[in-house]
Amino acid sequence: MRLGDISRVAIIGAGTMGAGIGLCFAHAGYDVILQDVLDDQIEKALDRIERSQKVFIQELVFSEASAKAATERISVTKSLEEALDGVQLVLEVIPENLKLKQALFGQMEAFCATDTILATNTSGLSIASIASACIRPERVAGMHWVNPPELVPLVEVIRGEKTADETVNLIFGIAEKLGKMPIIIQKEMPGFAMNRLQFAALREALHLVEAGVVTPEDADKAMSYGVGFRYPWLGPLKTADLGGLDVFHSVASYLFSDLNAMKSPPESLNRLVEGGKLGIKTGKGFYDYEKESSEEILRKRDLYFLRQWKLIRDIQQS
């Protein structure tokens, strides 16, 4: 199969990620069928798509006409067999449970044409293990998006043990066509690349807070207005290059041995989770979210992400 052969895409799982991913494909001109077994999940997905479209229109990313056209390219169904009829690419976006994913991939392969590409949005499960449920594992790969997927440009394309080069290259090409910034994970490792980097930073932030070095607010400020301020443009390795590898080598020689190496979540995080303080979804976590609606908080986040991505794109194209 070639990139130009793909016109119809199925998204299996209509949660937050599935809705946003489906919208990306629709804006790129693909016909999208969004499948979920729950009616209320489908309704939530359609509501999310509508909210995202309003942000795009407000920020002049898409006109009202093009946003409407994209929405009209999205259809929904509860039937897996109906969703997979005539599609060239399937992206699974169900909960992170290996047995569930294996069972689904076995079903999907049975309903699809032999050359259909089967991709999973897993955040860290083994592609080889998921593909073991299939007769043609060479057609299975990872396509890991970052929340919110319609705004964050990164897509990880993950090669499984038996994934064909053609499959990897095709998914990479699709991600580029969607306007994303894909990277290839050449060999499997738990968490792939993005989550390993993300959780390395989270581990050190948790340690600093638990040790009383900084408050949660100041840990976030150190990242947002220092390290993170540079990373959208440079990343950690280019930052080291521009700062001088001799300088970074010198600091690493004494600091690496002192960085936290905890192997399990710290007590401060355990207490929050056990106490039902799960963040914005419950109104409290490290922060108190009860003074402002979750919708308004997420709206401001989405505006920030979108404007940042537009700025990065404008600079790259200048």
What residues are labeled active site? Answer: 123, 144, 156, 195
* CA-closest candidate to residue 110, choices 127, 129, 133, 91: 133
Where would I find the H helices in 211-281? 216-222, 228-230, 235-243, 245-255, 267-274
Using CA atoms, how far residue 228 sits from 93, 225, 236, in Å, is 28, 6, 10
Contact 83, 35 (CB under 8 A): yes
C-alpha 71: how far from chain center = 21
CB 163 within 8 Å of CB 131? yes
Residue 145 is given by DSSP the state E
Among all chains, which residue has been given the structure tokens 């947002």? Answer: 224
- Element housing 38 (H / E): none
Residue type at position 210: E
Q: Which residues sit opposite 145 in a β-bridge?
A: 155
End-to-end CA gap in the chain: 34
Q: How far apart are alpha carbons 68 and 78 in whole angstroms?
A: 23
Q: Which two tokens stand for residue 25?
A: 């494909």
Scored b (16 or more CB within 10 A) or e, 231-254 reads eeeeeeeeebeeeeeeebeeeeee
In angstroms, the CA 25 to CA 70 distance is 9
- Cα separation of 308 and 174, whole Å? 23
Strand, helix or coil at 109? helix
